[in-house]
Amino acid sequence: MVKKSNRRKFINKSLVTLSGASLLSSCLTNEDKNETQNININFNKKFNWKMVTTWAPNMPVLGEGCNLFADWVQKMSGGRLNIKVYGGGELIPSLESFDAVSNGAIEMGSGASYYWAGKIPSGQFFSSVPFGMNSKQMNSWIISGGGYKFYREIYEPFNLIPFVGGNTSMQMGGWFNKEILSMDDLNGLKMRIPGFGGKVLSKAGGTAVTVAGGEIYTNLERGVIDATEWIGPYHDYLMGFYQVAKYYYYPGWHEPGGVLEMIVNKSKFQSLPSDLQEIIKKGIESLNIWMQCEFDSKNSVYLNKLLNEENVQLKIFPKDVLKSFKDKSNEVLQEMVDKDPKSKKIFDAYEDFRVKFKDWSVVSDKIYYEL
Ligand code: CA
């Protein structure tokens, strides 16, 4: 009975929407009139904003995307909102962008929430966690599955509004100068792998080291490190890692869908007229889509290049190694949630969504990719 009445409600609602199209347009006109009266925008007023990023200036996809965003905003606003984009280190050091946007010295910033793990540990659930959700799942959780509520809540004390501003998509496992055949091969392995992934590798017997982006190539070439992860085939190709490491491993268990973040100073955002606020929101939504399309499209082309033109040896991590990484990841996550009640609350919501989405993926994406 319940189902029947729900169906009736849905049909009635749909019919009203369809048959009421002309009625709706006249209603909207009245609403628009009211809104126009209330908004009272001064169209001659211009706003000049700054955006700091944690990316190298004009870095492919990440920096390029921020430049594109500023261009869209300038065009959509008819030149009323101009955003000057600064690469990491150009105006302030990359990792100072959180404080600068928080205190309002700078209006907005592009980075990733795990950079601020020291200030907001639970923020890491809005970047990427080992064996966690991929880009499709993260978008679904944050945008439509309730994630935004938590994301906004934890940034509120810093006077910041966080947005999902892109995704690296599934990353690769990394470049190794020796084969990983069993857990024994991880013993003493020195790998450049930051954040969560690094903690997991250390628990699995390896040594996680921090190396600045510009020094990874020479460190790998000289044997200072045995392995490195970076992003995916496109960026890894540009870094030239295939020239100094033999084996390219997958999957990127440590970063299955790296969410990129746009932070906006809340007071500055609220001081904008409502149309410019909407332009920023829609611009960031477009950037989120553009970055993912760009990553996936370029990665598919450059994986092919690496394999067919550079004869890279593509390897999958052995099952027992992946199992161990997964067990250690669970330990790292458990330690994190035990220490921080906010992380526990968000992790519970994250896990609940991930498990439900997994069931859906089995009958949708998974089977389809196997056909
Ligand atoms: Ca990475």
Whole-number Å distance, alpha carbon 32 to ligand 1 midpoint, is 46
CATH number for the domain spanning 107: value is 3.40.190.170
Please report the pLDDT score of residue 4 as a whole number. Answer: 57
Please report the pLDDT score of residue 153 as a whole number. Answer: 98
Residue 270 lies in a domain: yes
Q: Evaluate whether 183 touches 320 at the Cβ level (below 8 Å).
A: yes
Whole-number Å distance, alpha carbon 39 to ligand 1 midpoint, is 44
Please report the pLDDT score of residue 19 as a whole number. Answer: 42
- By the CB criterion, residues less than 5 angstroms from ion ligand 1 are 171, 255
Same domain, 96 and 222: no
Please report the pLDDT score of residue 177 as a whole number. Answer: 96
Number of CB atoms found within 10 A of residue 79's CB: 9
Same domain, 129 and 179: no
Same domain, 133 and 281: yes
Residue 37 lies in a domain: no
Whole-number Å distance, alpha carbon 47 to ligand 1 midpoint, is 35
Residue 364 lies in a domain: no
Is the pTM of the predicted complex or chain greater than 0.85? yes
Same domain, 117 and 239: no
The distance in angstroms from the start CA to the end CA of the chain is: 39
Please report where in the chains the tokens 């995916």 appear, as a residue: 232
Q: Is 200 helix (H, G, I), strand (E, B) or coil?
A: helix
Whole-number Å distance, alpha carbon 128 to ligand 1 midpoint, is 10
Whole-number Å distance, alpha carbon 5 to ligand 1 midpoint, is 50
Whole-number Å distance, alpha carbon 339 to ligand 1 midpoint, is 25
Same domain, 187 and 328: yes
Same domain, 96 and 192: no
Same domain, 265 and 225: no
Same domain, 261 and 247: no
Residue 74 lies in a domain: yes
Residue 324 lies in a domain: yes
Residue 120 lies in a domain: yes
Please report the pLDDT score of residue 40 as a whole number. Answer: 74
Residue 351 lies in a domain: no
Please report the pLDDT score of residue 307 as a whole number. Answer: 98
Cα–Cα distance, 83 to 88 (Å, whole number)? 16
Same domain, 87 and 121: yes
Please report the pLDDT score of residue 12 as a whole number. Answer: 55
Please report the pLDDT score of residue 5 as a whole number. Answer: 58
Same domain, 103 and 79: yes
Count of domains forming the chain: 2
Whole-number Å distance, alpha carbon 136 to ligand 1 midpoint, is 18
Whole-number Å distance, alpha carbon 51 to ligand 1 midpoint, is 23
- Residue 224 lies in domain: 174-253+311-339
Whole-number Å distance, alpha carbon 162 to ligand 1 midpoint, is 21
Please report the pLDDT score of residue 260 as a whole number. Answer: 97
Whole-number Å distance, alpha carbon 22 to ligand 1 midpoint, is 51
**Blockwise average pLDDT, block size 10, the chain, 371 residues:** 57 47 42 52 94 95 98 98 97 96 98 94 96 97 98 98 98 97 96 94 95 92 97 98 97 97 98 97 98 98 98 97 98 96 97 96 94 92
Please report the pLDDT score of residue 41 as a whole number. Answer: 85
Same domain, 186 and 330: yes
Beta bridge partners, 50, equal: 84
Same domain, 75 and 154: yes
Whole-number Å distance, alpha carbon 230 to ligand 1 midpoint, is 4
Please report the pLDDT score of residue 22 as a whole number. Answer: 40
Last residue of a domain, one of 273, 296, 319: 296
Q: Would you say how long the chain is, in residues?
A: 371
Whole-number Å distance, alpha carbon 338 to ligand 1 midpoint, is 26
